[in-house]
Each structure stands twice: as structure tokens, then as C-alpha cells.
């Protein structure tokens, strides 16, 4: 009986120091760039929310807290995922073939969408022009997470 075999080669470039191996080639891939932008936008949202929480001594409301928690949660999760892909030669290509990325990015997109919309609805009546950047950046990050979920769905290999 004959069968066909597909061999896939992945080329990675590394910066080798004495203890840490960096997969610098991952940053040049589209998923790597997406994760980097998700991380940077997440840092910006968390910073804006933290400044708002620091400046205002009264109760902020459920929408503020929900958005702050979602932005912080997925910023930390994306950092861990990005760091794992950056410090391992095989993780970047291997984790994309699992269901983890699809679930993670889908949940992140849905919850960030919900928190951003809730905060935008709360802020539409007030004079919070500078504070509107946090939910708007949350919506931008939502789009990036939806794109990552779509790419993860395409590359997922159910075993």
C-alpha cells in the first residue's frame, strides 16, 4: 500500500547568547507581528485605565473595572504567549497547530469587544474625551484578536 508524505520545513533565525535562545524570525511572521501589536495596544489600554483609576478616588463603575480587568488579563496572556514563541524555536510553529490559540484569541476578542462596547456606552454622555481612547483602543485590539483567531482557525490541525 502506498501513501503520500508531506514534509514541511521552517527556517528560523536565532540570536544565541549563553543561556537564552531568541527566535527572532518569529517577529517577522504575520502572527508574530499581530501578537506584538496586541501586546503594545494592551499596554496602552492598561496604562490609560490605570491613570484613570489613579486620578479618580470615587467608585468608577462596573464598566471601567470590567474593561480594566479584560485588558490586563489579555495583555498578560498575550505577553506569555509571545514570550513562549520568542524564546523557543519550535513553539511558534507548533502552538499555532493546536486548539489553544483558536480558543484564546476567540475568547479575548469576544470579551474585549464586550468590555469596550460597555465602556463606550457609559462614556458617550460624559465629557471624557481623553478617556475615550481606552475603549477605542480596546476595539482596535478586538479586531487584531479576531484576525488572530481566524488565522488560528486556518492553521489548526485537529489530531
What pLDDT, on the 0 to 100 scale, is given for residue 57?
58
What pLDDT, on the 0 to 100 scale, is given for residue 87?
86
**Distance, CA of 16 to chain centre:** 26
User: For 134-157, what is each residue's pLDDT tens digit?
Assistant: 999 999 999 999 999 999 888 876
Q: Cell 513553539, residue?
A: 91
77 closest CA partner among 129, 35, 37, 49:
35
Q: Cell 527556517, residue?
A: 11
State the pTM of this model: 0.81
Mean pLDDT to the nearest integer, 10-30:
71
E strand intervals along 6-131: 14-16, 21-23
User: For 37-86, what is each residue's pLDDT tens digit?
Assistant: 999 999 999 999 988 877 665 556 788 899 999 999 999 999 999 998 88
Q: What is the dihedral of CA 73, 79, 80, 81, to 10 degrees?
A: 100
Better-predicted residue by pLDDT, 13 or 98:
98
Mean pLDDT to the nearest integer, 112-126:
89
What pLDDT, on the 0 to 100 scale, is given for residue 156?
79
Mean pLDDT to the nearest integer, 100-112:
95
Upper half-sphere CA count for residue 78 (Cβ side, 13 Å): 30
User: For 89-103, what is each residue's pLDDT tens digit?
Assistant: 777 778 877 889 999
Amino acid at each position: 500500500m502506498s501513501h503520500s508524505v508531506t514534509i514541511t520545513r521552517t527556517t528560523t533565525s536565532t540570536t544565541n547568547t549563553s543561556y537564552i535562545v531568541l527566535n527572532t524570525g518569529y517577529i517577522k511572521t504575520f502572527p508574530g507581528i499581530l501578537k506584538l501589536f496586541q501586546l503594545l495596544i494592551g499596554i496602552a489600554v492598561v496604562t490609560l485605565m490605570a491613570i484613570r483609576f489613579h486620578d479618580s478616588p470615587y467608585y468608577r463603575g462596573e464598566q471601567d473595572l470590567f474593561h480594566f480587568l479584560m485588558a490586563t488579563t489579555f495583555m498578560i496572556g498575550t505577553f506569555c504567549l509571545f514570550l513562549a514563541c520568542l524564546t523557543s524555536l519550535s513553539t511558534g510553529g507548533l502552538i499555532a497547530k493546536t486548539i489553544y490559540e483558536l480558543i484564546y484569541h476567540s475568547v479575548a476578542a469576544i470579551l474585549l469587544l464586550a468590555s469596550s462596547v460597555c465602556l463606550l456606552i457609559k462614556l458617550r454622555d460624559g465629557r471624557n474625551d481623553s478617556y475615550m481612547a481606552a475603549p477605542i483602543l480596546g476595539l482596535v485590539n478586538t479586531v487584531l484578536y479576531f484576525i488572530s483567531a481566524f488565522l488560528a482557525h486556518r492553521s489548526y490541525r485537529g489530531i
